[in-house]
């Protein structure tokens, strides 16, 4: 069948193409009629992003729950503290100290994750600061224990070093506990469970000899005597011919005490005296704060003498410092 086409010019000059004898439905792929409603679209359907799930807000602990958290920290730390305090050697102490330091860091991290009660919001950061300060406090308190010699230049006994080391860690841990307790106030407790008792000091620390103890003699005895009045610190009086390391006799005189050394031979002698603290009874010597002196004048062993160890402008016997003996 023959198709015919016509072009119609509208009044407004718009060209419209008319197909005579064509179907009213557009062929596949044809554009929709002007002004019609499109039946297809090439734009992809819009997608809606899901809303993020809000994170739950941290729940503040109650005061009893906060107390329970601190108590649990003490229960964890207590065995490590005990391991340090029960160490029998410096090596065992060092191993225990390292374990305790690591445990303090771990427990501090655990406490940092909790939300404290409303009344302790400002106190909780101070609690964490107390844990942060522990390592520095240990280093400070162990500085003395790290010394291998006493202030008198003598080798420090292993038991003294171990005691000082334990006391240093104990002091640092007690300081941590005290800082925590001060921060949280009276409503919550920390420290009673984990702070250890003070270690027992070796006998040499704070040791003193007995007043009038003649712990050293050599050679025959004589009839001379030396009366001693001590108004100062504990001293040891040594009488010797020339060398105080080879004395005729040595006697211990406590502070503010009086005693008499008898049996002195009838020959000239010098009077030496040494003072200090931490008397080592086994080795007959002071181990800390030592001072060594002697009277400048020789003593005649044919006479009985009286000396007073006190600095006074009315004294008639001068003294000078000497080498250690």
pLDDT, tens digit (0-9, with 9 covering 90-100), for 247-298: 999 999 999 999 999 999 999 999 999 999 999 999 999 999 999 999 999 9
pLDDT of residue 310: 82
Kindly state the average pLDDT of the residues 117-130. 97
Residue 75, classed as helix, strand or coil, is: helix
Per-residue confidence at 3, pLDDT binned at 50, 70, 90? very low
- Indicate the DSSP class of residue 106: H
Among the listed residues 241, 251, 237, the one whose alpha carbon sits nearest the alpha carbon of residue 307:
237
Q: Note the Cα 270 to chain centre separation in Å.
A: 49
Kindly state the average pLDDT of the residues 123-133. 98
Kindly state the average pLDDT of the residues 10-17. 35
H-state helical runs in the chain: 63-85, 90-112, 124-132, 134-141, 158-184
Q: How many CA atoms lie within 13 A of 290 on its CB side?
A: 19
Inter-CA distances, 203 with 141, 188, 218, 228, 279, Å: 21, 39, 28, 27, 9
Judged against a pLDDT cut of 90, whether residue 312 lies above it is answered with no
Instruction: Report the run of H or E that residue 9 belongs to, with start and end.
Output: strand 5-9
Give this prediction's pTM.
0.73
> Out of 2-11, 71-80, 99-108, 299-308, which region has the weakest mean confidence (pLDDT)?
2-11
Per-residue confidence at 45, pLDDT binned at 50, 70, 90? low
Strand ordering across the sheet containing 257-264: 257-264, 224-230, 305-309
């Amino acid at each position: 069948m023959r198709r015919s086409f016509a072009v119609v010019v509208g009044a407004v000059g718009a060209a419209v193409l008319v197909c005579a004898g064509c179907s009213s439905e557009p062929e596949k792929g044809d554009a929709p009629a002007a002004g019609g409603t499109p039946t297809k679209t090439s734009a992809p359907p819009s997608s809606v992003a899901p809303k993020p799930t809000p994170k739950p807000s941290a729940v503040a602990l109650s005061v009893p729950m906060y107390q329970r958290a601190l108590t649990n920290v003490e229960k964890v730390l207590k065995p490590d503290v005990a391991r340090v305090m029960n160490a029998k050697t410096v090596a065992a102490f060092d191993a225990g100290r390292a374990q305790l330091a690591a445990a303090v860091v771990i427990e501090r991290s655990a406490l940092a994750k909790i939300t404290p009660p409303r009344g302790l919001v400002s106190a909780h950061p101070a609690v964490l600061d107390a844990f942060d300060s522990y390592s520095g406090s240990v280093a400070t308190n162990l500085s003395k224990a790290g010394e291998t010699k006493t202030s008198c230049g003598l080798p420090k006994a292993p038991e003294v070093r171990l005691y000082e080391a334990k006391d240093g860690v104990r002091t640092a841990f007690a300081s941590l506990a005290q800082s925590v307790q001060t921060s949280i106030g009276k409503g919550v407790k920390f420290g009673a469970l984990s702070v250890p008792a003070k270690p027992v000091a070796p006998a040499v620390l704070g040791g003193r000899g007995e007043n009038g103890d003649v712990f050293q003699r050599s050679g025959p005895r004589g009839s001379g005597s030396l009366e001693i009045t001590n108004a100062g610190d504990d001293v040891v009086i040594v009488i010797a011919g020339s060398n105080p390391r080879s004395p005729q006799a040595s006697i211990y005189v406590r502070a503010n005490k009086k005693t008499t050394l008898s049996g002195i031979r009838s020959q000239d002698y010098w009077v030496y005296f040494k003072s200090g603290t931490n008397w080592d009874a086994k080795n007959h010597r002071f181990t800390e704060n030592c001072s060594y002196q002697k009277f400048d004048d020789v003593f005649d062993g044919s006479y009985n003498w009286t000396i007073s160890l006190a600095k006074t402008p009315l004294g008639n016997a001068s003294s000078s410092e000497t080498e250690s003996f």
